[in-house]
Amino acid sequence: MDSKKDDNNQKDGKIDLKKKLEEARKEAKNLDEAISDETVLSEQNPDELAKTKEELSQMTETAKRMIADMTNLKRRHEEDRKTIIFMANTDLIKSLLPIIDNLNRAKQHFPQNPTDDVKKWYEGLEISINQLNKILQDFGVVEIEALGKPFDPNLHEASSLSSSKTQR
């Protein structure tokens, strides 16, 4: 559902860009016509020439602003796209972390002297855990040693609060 909205937003952005580009092209065409008309006007009427030069100047400024707006729109669109991808990746990674924790807990409960069948299950579990850890590392997620250390908001994310009789 959200991807359809994103697609529609991207299509709307592309349509807006196309409209602005078309407007800029029309302005450029008008500028070319104004320049060719300038030679004829300069011979006929000097006041008309001054008026045309002013219009030309205004059209040039409008075209420059439209190009700058289009450039800024492209930049903002790219930044928004990157932000959306980052947020989606973050949500996916957060949902994978409990699964990895549970797989690690399951690994700890395997018997010390397993049978051949159990060894195969254990190896398969290790391979799955390693693959998931590799994927997370590819996305920049690394495990940090946090147990027993003071809370650092730059490294840790609080998941709950608990009351304690001791204060630190």
Q: Is the pLDDT of residue 70 over 90?
A: yes
Two structure tokens written together for 118: 């159990």
H helix count then E strand count, the chain: 3, 0
Mean pLDDT over each residue of the chain, to the nearest integer: 81
This model's pTM is above 0.85: no
For residue 64, the enclosing domain spans 2-84
Is residue 29 included in any domain, yes or no?
A: yes
Number of domains in the chain: 1
Q: Is residue 63 assigned to a domain?
A: yes
Task: Answer yes or no: is 116 within a domain.
Answer: no
Q: Euclidean distance between the first and final Cα of the chain, in Å?
A: 47
CB under 8 Å to 106, separation ≥6 — which residues? 125
Residue 21 lies in a domain: yes
Residue 151 counted as domain residue: no
Residue 39: closest CA among 55, 25, 53, 60: 53
pLDDT at 66: 92
| Rg (alpha carbons) of the chain, rounded to whole number | 32
Residue range 120-134, pLDDT digits in tens: 999 999 999 999 999
Output the CA torsion 98→104→110→115 (10° steps). Answer: 110
Kindly state whether residue 131 falls inside one of the protein's structural domains.
no
Q: Could you say which DSSP state residue 153 is in?
A: T
